[in-house]
Structure 1
Amino acid sequence: MESKEKTIELIEQALESVRPYLLADGGDVKLVDLTDDLTVVLELQGSCQSCPMSAMTFRAGLEESIRKAVPSVNKVVAQNVPALAS
């Protein structure tokens, strides 16, 4: 299994691949935590917090990118968007 630091680095790289699209719409994303059970906790920022498309962006963009980069991830959640927090 990869080290936690390496896993975090891969997650950050995945987020960087999606970040330009978020920034173009006034949003962003921040990696908050990688738990011991390999749950990725993200925080949507800017307009992404309240955008009606945030669930689609989250699942099809952020989560998919992370899962491609780190297939061992169990779950991806957004701590500040109730619909995406579990």
Structure 2
Amino acid sequence: MDADKKQELLARIDQAINNIRPYLEADGGDVKLVDIDDDYVVKVELLGACEACPMSPMTMKAGIEEAIKRVAPEVKAINAINIAPVS
């Protein structure tokens, strides 16, 4: 993907994350957008309480992943770099 496409996609994803951030912060957590690769795989990092929370996989699947795919349907996967993947 070219640089302009990547920047536009990152901006959409960042906005989606900003929309759900207050819910994460209410429980002492947060999420940081790390990158998106040429295969349209998004990497995020869970922060604060989300790092060790047993509900983090559910937060990834039902919250973060859903929000990102709503604004960027071309994304193939969303992976948290600091938790085990959920199938």
Distance 1:44 1:84 in 2: 12
TM-score between the two structures when normalised by the length of structure 1: 0.92
Aligned residues: 85
| Residue 43 (str. 1) matches residue 45 (str. 2) | yes
CA contact (8 A) 1:18 1:62 kept: yes
* Counterpart in the other structure of 1:69: 71
Establish whether residue 15 from structure 1 lines up as the match of residue 10 from structure 2. Answer: no
Deviation by residue 1:5-47 (Cα, 9 ceiling, x = unmatched): 1100000011011100100111000011110111000000000
> Which structure 2 segments of 5+ residues have no match?
none
Residues in 2 aligned to 1:85 and 1:56: alpha-carbon distance in whole angstroms = 8
> Hey, which bits of structure 1, 4+ residues long, moved more than 4 A?
none
Hey, what's the Cα distance between the residues in 2 that align with 1:56 and 1:62? 9
Identity of aligned residues (%): 51
Unaligned runs of 5+ in 1: none
Cα-to-partner distance string for 1:45-86 (whole Å, 9 max, x where unaligned): 0000110111111100000000000000011000011x2288
User: 2:56 matched to which residue of 1?
Assistant: 54
The DSSP-based 3-state class of the residue aligned with 2:46 is: strand
- When normalised by structure 2's length, the TM-score is 0.91
Distance 1:25 1:84 in 2: 21
